Amino acid sequence: GAGVSQTPSNKVTEKGKYVELRCDPISGHTALYWYRQSLGQGPEFLIYFQGTGAADDSGLPNDRFFAVRPEGSVSTLKIQRTERGDSAVYLCASSFGTGELFFGEGSRLTVL
């Protein structure tokens, strides 16, 4: 597709379960960002990839959160032992590195 694709668009899970969120960036974009957004708040930075490597993962809240981008394209955000406080919209964006980010529609995670 032409834009950033995120799946699933909605995910409902139970506390303690494992969740994976996928991001398919725009072809050729080397930079990929993950953000988390709660209602009424701005997007909160989680992690930034340049190519296959995580250039900055300082926003990951704890070791339950992990993200990979093994081939420099698709990225997966993994959340272990989910908690109710993890409920949010998870946004992915890609870029050529110029500061213009192209966002997906987000994955809404609800932890019951």
Partner 1 sequence: LAKTTQPISMDSYEGQEVNITCSHNNIATNDYITWYQQFPSQGPRFIIQGYKTKVTNEVASLFIPADRKSSTLSLPRVSLSDTAVYYCLVPYNQGGKLIFGQGTELSVKP
Per-residue interface string for the shown chain with partner 1, residues 49-68, x marking contact by CB under 8 A: -x----xx-xx---------
Minimum CB–partner distance for residue 16 and partner 1 (Å): 27
Rounded Cα distance between 29 and 32, Å, is 8
DSSP per residue, 92-104: EEEESSSS--EE-
Q: Which residues, other chains included, contact 5 with Cβ-Cβ below 8 Å and sequence gap of 6+?
A: 23, 24, 104
Asked whether position 2 contacts partner 1 by CB under 8 A, the answer is no
Are the beta carbons of 7 and 71 closer than 8 angstroms? no
Q: Distance of alpha carbon 92 from its chain centroid, rounded? A: 5
Asked whether position 5 contacts partner 1 by CB under 8 A, the answer is no
**Beta-bridge partner residues of 94:** 32, 102
Per-residue interface string for the shown chain with partner 1, residues 78-97, x marking contact by CB under 8 A: -------------x-x---x
State which of residues 5, 13, 45, 74 lies at the interface with partner 1 (CB under 8 A): 45
Residues that bind partner 1 (CB under 8 A): 4, 31, 33, 35, 41-45, 48, 50, 55-56, 58-59, 91, 93, 97-106
